[in-house]
Amino acid sequence: MVVTVFRTRDVPTRAIRTAVRKPMRSTPLLIAMISVIATPLRSQAPDSSAVVRDASRCRWLLFPSLGAAPETGLQFGSGLLTVCESRTDPETTRPSSLNASVLGTLKQQARVSIRLERWAANNARMTTSSLIWQTFPLPYFGIGDGTPESARELYNPRGVEASVEGQQRFARGWYVGGGLRHVARRISTDSSGVLRQARILGTADGPISELLVSLQRDTRDNIFATERGVWVRLNYARSVQGIVSDYSYGRLRADGRLFRTISGRHVVALQAQIVGVDGAVPFDQMPLVGGSEILRGYELGRYRDRWLAAAQGEYRTPFVRRIGAVAFAGAGLVAPSFDALVSQRFLPTYGVGLRGQLDARKRTAIRADFGWGRPGSSGLYLGLNQAF
């Protein structure tokens, strides 16, 4: 769960009158995906079920959350983190985890999310599933890196997003996978800008479904706070109009991360990412700058286009009395095409953060980062574990 606080000018938003006013065409698919997401909670293999029942193998953390942003007012809620070790081989099998959160605001906006990650014995297979319900505002400034601050308008995507993915190991550290992502949302806006005038693709109500294939290299020594290893992932997702989707487009994503211990438990972490879309992609599915993981310091959605390239580096200190620190810097670019990336405006970012250790054995932690972008852009990010 992540709470993000931005220093931006106030923009009035509409109170939410109702979450869902009519059934959506994609309801049957959502029900099926929710059933898959819920399965690990109620029907696991005998050994895994024993893990859930054995309190000594599971660690639970319930924590409050508090934040604020001009477009939402006061934010409040709670989160739950559960980490369960394998009962048979806890030293070699990665722990399974559940991360859930509930967040609301004084302006009657809300987000509820749950994410499950389950590892099979000896890390031979991994499954992830997530479910998000939200009615929460996001900013839109336009498309490209030259959009002015004055173009800012808020839109509210109301609905449900669900995803399921499975990965199978086929060689040492190599995984191949596939999955499904489905979004059923209705978009509203209080502004009189281009979104209200429906001049941008994606403002009309309608479901989105993506089929995904992936190839991944994963040699991390720890999935919550890596100190050594690499994580490289290449995936391609496709949405086809008429197959539980109103849009036809594709998304290619390449993400590489390198982790090295330089002295003791001092760690340097590096990440590079390229994301591109083709076809008739809705505006809210385009690659975005900002957020709590990469290009911290920009409001999520401050810049968007058909292609995004970004990189960052982070230095992490050891924990002393359960407190650690980080320093990070990076940069990104957005462009209408891959070839145009080299000629676009440079978007730098840098910042510092603190980590509060929760579990020394599994290296779980809470984090607080403050990042700066171009002049006038900054953000505070509160969440769980490392940014990447």
What Rg do the C-alpha atoms of the chain give, in angstroms?
Answer: 21
Q: What's the pLDDT at 142?
A: 93
How many whole angstroms separate alpha carbon 299 and alpha carbon 247? 26
How many whole angstroms separate alpha carbon 45 and alpha carbon 117? 15
E-strand ranges in the chain read 3-6, 58-69, 73-84, 96-105, 110-119, 125-135, 138-140, 153-171, 174-189, 206-218, 229-239, 249-263, 266-279, 307-316, 323-335, 347-359, 364-372, 378-384
Mean pLDDT per 10-residue segment, the chain (388 residues): 46 38 49 48 38 60 73 79 89 93 86 96 96 91 92 91 98 97 90 78 91 98 96 98 95 98 95 97 94 89 96 97 97 96 93 94 91 88 89
Fold of 3-384: Porin (2.40.160)
Q: Where are the domains of the chain?
A: 3-384
CB neighbour list of residue 120: distance below 8 Å, 6 or more residues apart? 93, 126
Closest to 44 measured CA to CA, from 59, 58, 62: 58
Residue owning tokens 């696991």: 44
Cα dist. 26→129, 213, 246 in Å? 18, 22, 11
Q: What's the pLDDT at 190?
A: 74
- Under 8 Å between Cβ of 270 and 316: no
**Type and span of the H or E element at 48:** helix 46-53
Q: What's the pLDDT at 46?
A: 38
- Under 8 Å between Cβ of 59 and 51: no
Please provide the size of the chain in residues: 388
Q: Which two tokens stand for residue 268?
A: 């340097």
Residue owning tokens 């050594």: 228
Q: What's the pLDDT at 138?
A: 87
- Under 8 Å between Cβ of 4 and 291: yes
Kind of pairing between the strands at 378-384 and 364-372: antiparallel
- Under 8 Å between Cβ of 187 and 195: yes
Closest to 94 measured CA to CA, from 115, 114, 116, 122: 122
How many whole angstroms separate alpha carbon 141 and alpha carbon 147? 6
Q: What's the pLDDT at 44?
A: 38
Q: What's the pLDDT at 306?
A: 97
